[in-house]
Amino acid sequence: MLVHRVYLCYNEAMFDLPLAVQCFIAVVFGCCMGSFLCVCVERLPQGLSVISPGSRCLHCGKAIPWYLNIPIISWLFLRGKSWCCKKSIPITYFLSELIVGLMAGLLYMHSPKLFIPYFMLFCLLWVAFFIDLKIMIIPDEISLLGIVFGVLLSCFFPELQGKREPFYGLIRSVEVACLSMGGLFLFISIVEFFLKKEAMGLGDVKLLGCIGAFLGGEACLFSLFFGAILGTVCVLFGYVFQKFCLKRRVKLRNKRIPFGPFLALSTLLYLFFPQLMLKL
């Protein structure tokens, strides 16, 4: 299989290099992905393609030449202003490239063998996190495509699902994705039946399926429970903060809170500290 051969070549070429160089390559790759993820967060909520047209100025729409589109360096070189109309480029672009780059380096150091699936899942969660915060929707391009990627990568990296054979990795991934989505859907249907209002969006259900397809059942359970705890703590903290620190009160009771960001954060925690699952 061509993809498998490419992967073997990547393994041979990458793991022969000194560790510092391997990490540096991961960071550079991460910075480039950070730039692409900015485009995804910007365009997906508007239903636009993330591939074509290429990068454009946010203000006047002029195409940006490749040499002025180098992650981190271009933003610093242009001092946060666009080259064409000299209007400011938000610092979030620079920060996104920097943070995604650093996270890629950390993930590589943490588990070099599973870097590809871990970093791909991280990218999907990054986009889901910001779009869910922005418009309270997790696009299908992220969750459903994520499930497909998760299943395929579980075939190449069956250890993601605690298996040795590619075929069993793939089957287990499909099983976990279906069971987690089915289980959560059933649970929220029952809750909604009794509460008579929407408890959770279907986007969260599909995102959980994506997490399961990548990391297996244990990670799914951890993300769900720890995400719920994290969400509850944040809501309580917000409630206390507005009660004691804000003069103008915001009605929190009927405010909808996106669950996707909490799912994403708890999954990230699981990626770095899977042993936490044993303590829960």
* Using rule CB under 5 A, residue 60 touches Zn ion: yes
Q: Least CB distance from residue 99 to Zn ion, whole Å?
A: 25
Q: Indicate the burial class of 100 (C-beta count within 10 angstroms; 0-12, 13-18, 19 or more).
A: buried
Query: Hey, what are 82's tokens?
Result: 């666009």
Q: Is 1 exposed, middle or buried (0-12, 13-18, 19+ CB in 10 A)?
A: exposed
For the chain, what is the total number of helices (H) and then of strands (E)? 11, 0
Q: Which stretch binds Zn ion (CB under 5 A): 74-82, 99-107, 133-141, 155-163?
A: 74-82
Q: Taking contact as CB under 5 A, which single stretch among the options 84-92, 151-159, 240-248, 266-274 is the one that binds Zn ion?
A: 84-92
User: Should residue 252 be labelled a site residue for Zn ion when binding is judged by CB under 5 A?
Assistant: no
Q: Which of 190, 40, 200 is nearest to 136 (CA)?
A: 200
**Window of 26-34, 56-64, 141-149, 206-214 that interacts with Zn ion by CB under 5 A:** 56-64
Q: Do the beta carbons of residue 29 and residue 37 sit within 8 Å? A: no
Question: Which C-beta is closer to Zn ion: that of 80 or that of 162?
Answer: 80
Contact flag: residue 85 with Zn ion (CB under 5 A): yes
Query: Does 82 participate in binding Zn ion (rule CB under 5 A)?
Result: yes
List phi, psi (to 5°) of 88: -75, 140
Interacting span for Zn ion (CB under 5 A) from 59-67, 120-128, 149-157, 183-191: 59-67
Residue nearest to Zn ion (CB): 57
Q: Which is nearer to Zn ion, 3 or 85 (CB)?
A: 85
> Would you say 80 or 182 has its CB closer to Zn ion?
80
Task: In angstroms, give the least distance from the CB of 55 to Zn ion.
Answer: 11
| Burial of residue 5 (number of CB atoms within 10 Å: 0-12, 13-18, 19+) | exposed
Per CB under 5 A, 63 contacts Zn ion = no
Residues in contact with Zn ion by CB under 5 A are 57, 59-60, 82, 84-85
